[in-house]
A and B are shown apart, each in its own frame.
Chain A
Amino acid sequence: MSSEWPLWEIFIRGQHGMSHRHVGSLHAPDAKMAIKNARDVYTRRNEGVSIWAVEALHIAASVPSDKGPLFEPSRSKVYRHPTFFDIPDDAGSM
């Protein structure tokens, strides 16, 4: 059996109330060590206040060839953006 440690994806939440963001990967034998290693590698300059570690094999991802069917339908729906609507300035702020 291979002794290579599993791969983990690391997510960090920064100081300013933003969501956790993917910062990179690392190998670790278990979750506890993954978080310890993530702290040593990815928060060495005050980058974060919270760490998520997810074993890479548990991440489900969309397939590149589905890019069209998945994301193109939203292109034609311009009315989902506020700028679609012409509201006179006189109407006040909104």
Chain B
Amino acid sequence: MYAQVLDQNDSGVKSREDMSEQEQIFQARIDAGEKIEPKDWMPDAYRAMLIRQIGQHAHSEIVGQLPEGNWITRAPTLERKAILLAKVQDEAGHGLYLYAAAETLGVSRDQLTEMLHQGRMKYSSIFNYPTLTWADIGAVGWLVDGAAIMNQVPLQRTSYGPYARAMVRICKEESFHQRQGFAIMMKMANGNDAQRRMAQDALDRMWFPSLMMFGPPDKDSTHSTRSMAWRIKINGNDELRQKFVDQTAPQIEFLSLTCPDNNLKWNEEKQGYDYTDPDWKEFFAVLKGNGPCNKERLGARVKAWEDGAWVRDGLMAHARKNAARTVAKGENENVQ
């Protein structure tokens, strides 16, 4: 999930008695399914938690363009190239919708960018893995966007209005992403031996990192309680992960590929698949900055920001000059 709860400071739910009157009214509104809007009163911790989650989500959309952008110039056909370009453009839009939602909470776009660049805000761990072959682009769309959808669909009902509305727009665009990825996988899996091997290899490398996208097991995380009471988060990590596995396992079979998890097996009793958890030590190492591509990803963002500074400044200076000129012209006309 792009909105993986990465480093929230969640101290648990306050009891009714501990809440101020304002907090009680606020909680009652959320419990009644009302949306909280930017100018409404909200607890400071609610605001801070949202800025963190929406910001991380936005950063993930933007950094997430990098592993796929890596293949735009090398897509196998012109059509595939146009499709991938459109998909990556969508992700830029997703970042924008989310930054705009975060900005309604009183943080500026530049502040958010700065916090990402200084490593004070995270992005989803998945984007620190490399895309080595064209099949990886298929696996990313199928698994990574697939996992993102699983997380984002319930977030359309999150309590903060601007976040929920951004999620609605995003979800409308996501299913194209997953389907284009699966279409690539189908092509590769039905291709020659070398192509099939590439498809299998992509699945082998992406499977566990995709499961990590849902965040650590609920039993190890104290993070969920308060964010769930506030409906900033709707489902538990394990619940969504299970749903993802149940949806994806038959698709692996459909592609005649093999899941790298030997323990993946249908469990009749629980009406779901049993599976092996990913290596959480690896997950935390990647989050800390020690994944295969952390330096490259953040470096690319910082470089783009710094190299683009003169364009941003130049356009702003031009706009100011034009505005001043229009005012001066207007004054002249009044005189005549």
Contacts and interface: CB of A to CB of B under 8 A. Distances in A.
Interface in B109-141: 109-110
Nearest to A2: B110
A40 B85 CA distance: 13
Interface string B157-184: 0000000001001000100000000000
A33 interface: yes
Interface stretch (B4-12, B70-78, B276-284, B310-318): B310-318
Interface residues of A, number: 20
B89 interface: yes
Interface in A1-59: 2-5, 7, 23-27, 29-30, 33, 40-41, 44-45
Contacts of A44: 86, 89-90, 93
Given A2-B110, A24-B169, A30 B322 contact: yes
Contacts, number: 51
Interface stretch (B58-66, B95-103, B227-235): B95-103
A64 interface: yes
Contacts of B89: 40, 44
28 contacts: A2-B110, A3-B313, A3-B316, A4-B108, A4-B109, A5-B316, A7-B100, A23-B169, A24-B96, A24-B97, A24-B100, A24-B169, A26-B100, A29-B316, A29-B319, A30-B318, A30-B322, A30-B323, A40-B89, A41-B92, A41-B93, A44-B86, A44-B89, A44-B90, A44-B93, A45-B173, A64-B39, A64-B40
